[in-house]
């Protein structure tokens, strides 16, 4: 008969216990490592999206305005025209902004024949009537701060506008279609040089523009590293 001492049994038990604990730790570590790798791959493969707002491209139609020469005390009729683009929101009230360029042809005895260009940054708010099924026309109204540059003259003028958007696709999620707007500049624009070294003032006036709004879309956004 073989006798097994208590010490031998204890040593065997300890070894078995250590083996079980090591195996459990190995399984837990492998499981955590697998979860971490899966999370990393999922984070890398999941795209991040951002909304690119709708954009309106438009023409400013020629409309008669008064250009006042203070030295001579006379007025000349001019017809500025131009083009521009701006962002269009998708909510009843939304921020808007854009850039436009106007050209003013001046032909007077004091200045001769000359052309003045107005480069303008528009920043403001816009209201757009909610979309109604079966009614493609939507009313719009907006108010802008017109920040401009003419030759060496910097100026700022408030502008208000009202118009209509004709939805060419009534099922579209974002605004899209033809636009017609009437706008009014509320203050004078002082121009330091309109030709021949003469200064003049462009008086407040109505204007008209026609354009087209291209629908916004979702696009992927690059992640910051």
Q: Which residue has the tokens 């008209």?
A: 208
Q: Is residue 17 part of a domain?
A: yes
Of 69-78, 96-105, 142-151, the range with the lowest mean pLDDT is 69-78
Q: What percent of the chain has pLDDT over 90?
A: 50
- pLDDT at residue 10, as a whole number: 53
- Same domain for 114 and 29: no
- pLDDT at residue 186, as a whole number: 96
pLDDT band, residue 54 (cuts 50/70/90): confident
What is the arithmetic mean of pLDDT over 124-140? Answer: 92
Between residues 179 and 111, which one has the greater pLDDT?
Answer: 179
Q: What are the structure tokens assigned to 93, written together?
A: 């009230």
Domain count across the chain: 2
- Same domain for 63 and 156: yes
Q: In which domain, by residue range, is 214 found? A: 49-220
What is the arithmetic mean of pLDDT over 135-154? Answer: 93
Distance between CA 203 and CA 162 in Å, rounded? 20
- Same domain for 145 and 42: no
- Same domain for 65 and 35: no
Of 19-23, 81-85, 103-107, the range with the lowest mean pLDDT is 19-23
* Whether the predicted pLDDT of 223 surpasses 50: yes
- Same domain for 174 and 80: yes
């Amino acid at each position: 008969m073989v006798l097994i001492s208590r010490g031998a049994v204890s040593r065997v038990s300890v070894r078995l216990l250590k083996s079980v604990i090591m195996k459990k730790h190995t399984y837990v570590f492998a499981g955590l490592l697998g979860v971490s790798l899966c999370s990393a791959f999922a984070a890398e493969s999941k795209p991040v999206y951002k909304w690119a707002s709708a954009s309106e491209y438009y023409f400013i139609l020629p409309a008669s305005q008064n250009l006042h020469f203070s030295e001579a005390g006379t007025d000349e009729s001019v017809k500025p025209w131009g083009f521009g683009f701006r962002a269009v929101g998708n909510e009843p009230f939304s921020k808007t902004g854009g850039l436009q360029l106007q050209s003013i042809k001046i032909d007077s005895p004091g200045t001769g024949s000359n052309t003045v260009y107005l480069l303008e940054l528009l920043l403001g708010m816009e209201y757009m009537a909610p979309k109604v099924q079966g009614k493609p026309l939507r009313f719009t109204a907006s108010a802008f701060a017109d920040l401009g540059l003419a030759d060496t003259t910097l100026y700022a003028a408030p502008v208000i506008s009202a118009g209509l958007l004709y939805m060419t696709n009534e099922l579209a999620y974002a605004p899209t279609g033809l636009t017609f707007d009437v706008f009014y500049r509320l203050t004078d624009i002082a121009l330091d040089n309109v030709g021949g070294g003469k200064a003049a003032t462009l008086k407040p006036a109505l204007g008209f523009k026609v354009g087209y709004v291209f629908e916004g879309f979702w696009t992927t956004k690059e992640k910051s590293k």
